[in-house]
Amino acid sequence: MVPLRALSVVPAVFGLALMSAGCQRAEPVQWDSSEQVKKLTPELGEQVTKIVNENAGSVLKPKMVSEKPVDDHTKTVRRELQLKHGQDVYMKRCVQCHGVSGDGNGDVANSLYPRPRDYTKGIFKFTSTPYGSKPRRDDLIATLRRGVTGTSMPAFRLLPKEDIEDVVDYVILLAQRGELEVQLANEAEASEELDPDYISEFIDDVGAKWKDSSGPPTQPLTPQPELTPERVALGREAFLTKGCSKCHAEDGRGHTKDNIGKDAWGHPTRAADLTSGMLRGGQEPIDIYRRILNGINGTPMPGFRNALESEPETVWNLVSYVLDVSNRRRSGTKIPAGLIKPYSEPVPAAEGEAAPAGAE
Amino acid sequence: MSLRKSVGFLAACLCMGGSVLASGPADGGTVVGKVILDGTAPTLAPLVKSGDANVKDKEVCGAADVPDESLVVGDKGGVANVFVYLRRAPKGYKAPEVKDQLVLDQKGCVFLPHAAAIRVGQTILVKSSDAVQHNLHTFPQRNDPSNLLIKASEDKGVALKYTKPESDPIEVKCDIHAWMSSYHLILDHPFMAVTDKDGNFKIEGLPAGTHEFRVWHERAGLLEKEYKVEVKAGAEKAVELKYAVAKFPAKKK
């Protein structure tokens, strides 16, 4: 059952997408290959696809790149069923936004701001791990349960545990498949060949990167204190002197003149408006703490661990301040979730995407 | 410690079939060269003018002109900051351990150096001579990206390490000061160089044989994919690489 919030967020289009998926069982026909692969010569493209399929399987028989085959028939079959179940959940509840292959190009994606996450880059934002690392499985589960406030990503609070677990595995599978494909395509492009001597490195890399996804989260440098008004005041001071205001502006609204960059998906970014009352990465003090210590993957938001390690209390002061500014507008103006706001700049053609449909 | 790890990794990759080639300038060959611009170098306006009152952190970033280093041309048309390298070490080659530490600085809201050749596992210390914060944000293809806030006047240095080789140089930026840009080439072998201010480079210790070099510049991208040079043991080979100015168009913002 799709939670009500999701329905209110993407009204008519949502239904359409479901209809266009047809009445037969929503089983994907084929995964797309990425733009990078399409740019290769046909022979190289085929070689890449062949290796990707050997390692990630096919839609009919999806495989996790990082999982080596085991010599136990019962286990193998059980795993296959789990991944297929994850795929079923995905094709029912996620595909309209995130797309069949997880590239973020689902049927309704063009009308959404921000766009649904393209998993094929293997980059996730709301993590409890250092900048540049993969998310923990639990981070993805938390995102699904919580939704992403201020965007169209719904909260799947009522989905049974089994569905959540399996769909998260399927998301990881799509991410690993995407990463392997991009890495091989880059290699093929750079070398104009795929030297078999190096292929296993790329496959192993994917596994190594996801290896810690069931490890422990980043722990705070000091335990969480009571977030008092004094800390809010100190946090404000730190916000102005430690570098936050350089991107988020002195009032935390992120409206600085030259604050435009691109994120890892090629979309223009701006520093989050911390006063909007809608922290995407979670409202808990520890969520904000981790954003500050680790930064936010794929975006200009840097990690402050090195800068603040010698003054760990400052991190909690900053958390107090961010929560304070974020809550200030809570009761007042509320911007509707998933507000359809076009990207201010057309997405560059080099990223291989058409200009967003909603652009004015 | 990661240093040791990377060496282990290299050793593991070693193909036992071929003979293990010894390294060092003594028995290896050397390639010296110069990259030259064919045509008149454009005059580039500074990215930030000295005294600009509107620039972010004007006391530091506006204290002096911030030069546009996207095309630096020196003596006799020599082009600086061009990367010349082998994409991969010759098969069977065993790279010596990296001992040198590389120090990166940020001064007057400029990255120093602008272009750096770096070994996998090499320790890079990121320092800042500026009294304002910077963030060092890497955009690799194979490595995990980093985005480190570097505090004002960071003199101890924040450690940065790359664990994988890249195909070609990657960009390293500061998002706070959006004009700040630099390039890193990360390889798991030492056969790489960045041209100096007059376009000169030197690569030593090359095993004898014919090597295919890549030549890359931030404006031009790949200038050569497989520039062949025959190297003889103990000998020095001089090359001159000349490229039309039209190959170095200004980058679109």
A27 shares its domain with A154: yes
Q: Is the pLDDT of residue B48 over 90?
A: yes
| Interval A203-256: pLDDT, tens | 999 999 999 888 889 999 999 999 999 999 999 999 999 999 999 988 888 766
| Interval B85-106: pLDDT, tens | 999 999 889 999 898 999 999 9
Q: Is the pLDDT of residue A312 over 60?
A: yes
A83 shares its domain with A162: yes
**B147·A205 Cβ contact <8 A:** no
- Hey, what are A294's tokens? 């680790």
- Hey, what are A19's tokens? 């209809």
Residues B74-91 as b/e (b if ≥16 CB within 10 A, e otherwise) read beebbbbbbbbbbbbbee
Instruction: List, as one string, the DSSP characters of B161-178.
Output: ---S--SS-EEEE-SSST
**B145·A304 Cβ contact <8 A:** no
Nearest to B167 among A186, A209, A306 (CB): A186
A121 shares its domain with A192: yes
pTM beyond 0.80: yes
Taking the CA of residue A134 and the nearest CA in chain B, the distance in Å comes to: 9
Query: Residue A61: inside a domain, yes or no?
Result: yes
Q: Which residues, in sequence order, are bridge partners of residue B83?
A: B194, B216
Query: Residue A352: inside a domain, yes or no?
Result: no
A197: chain B residues, CB-CB within 8 Å: 15, 91
**What are the structural domains, with CATH classification, of chain B?**
3-247 (2.60.40.420)
Query: Residue A333: inside a domain, yes or no?
Result: no
**How many separate domains does chain A show?**
2
A280 shares its domain with A319: yes
A190 shares its domain with A246: no
Query: Residue A220: inside a domain, yes or no?
Result: no
Q: Which residues, in sequence order, are bridge partners of residue B29?
A: B206
A32 shares its domain with A106: yes
H/E stretch holding B240 reads: strand B236-244
Query: Residue A272: inside a domain, yes or no?
Result: yes
A18 shares its domain with A64: yes
A246 shares its domain with A157: no
Query: Residue A356: inside a domain, yes or no?
Result: no
| Interval A59-115: pLDDT, tens | 999 999 999 889 999 999 999 999 999 999 999 999 999 999 999 999 999 999 899
Taking the CA of residue A300 and the nearest CA in chain B, the distance in Å comes to: 6
Put simply, whether A264 touches B (Cβ < 8 Å) is yes
Q: Show the CA angle centred on residue B200, arms to residues B194 and B202, nearest 5°.
A: 70
Whether B194 and B82 have beta carbons less than 8 Å apart is answered as yes
**A243·B142 Cβ contact <8 A:** no
Quick one: pLDDT at residue B1?
37
Sorted by sequence, the CB contacts under 8 Å of residue B135 that are 6+ apart come out as A243, A300, A302, B147, B148, B149, B150, B174, B175, B176
- What distance in Å separates the CA atoms of residue A148 and residue A168, rounded to the nearest whole number? 15
Phi-psi region of A114 (alpha: psi -120 to 50; beta: other; left: phi over 0): beta
Whether B138 and A264 have beta carbons less than 8 Å apart is answered as no
Taking the CA of residue A75 and the nearest CA in chain B, the distance in Å comes to: 32
A235 shares its domain with A206: no
A110 shares its domain with A184: yes
Put simply, whether A318 touches B (Cβ < 8 Å) is no
Query: Residue A331: inside a domain, yes or no?
Result: no
A200 shares its domain with A236: no
CATH number of the structural domain spanning residue A162: 1.10.760.10
| Interval B125-179: pLDDT, tens | 999 999 999 999 999 999 999 999 999 999 999 999 999 999 999 999 999 999 9
pLDDT band (50, 70, 90) for residue A27:
low
Cα torsion angle, B183, B52, A272, A294, sign: positive
Range of the domain at A259: 229-326
**A258·B178 Cβ contact <8 A:** yes
Q: How many CB pairs under 8 A join A and B?
A: 77
H/E stretch holding A196 reads: helix A196-210
Nearest to A243 among B137, B149, B158 (CB): B149
Q: Using an 8 Å CB-CB cutoff, list residues of chain B that contact chain A.
A: 15, 56-57, 87, 91, 132-133, 135-137, 141-151, 158, 164, 167-168, 175-176, 178, 225
| Interval A131-190: pLDDT, tens | 999 999 999 999 999 999 989 999 999 999 999 999 999 999 999 999 999 999 999 999
- What distance in Å separates the CA atoms of residue A59 and residue A27, rounded to the nearest whole number? 8
Sorted by sequence, the CB contacts under 8 Å of residue B55 that are 6+ apart come out as B48, B61, B62
A48 shares its domain with A168: yes
A36: chain B residues, CB-CB within 8 Å: none
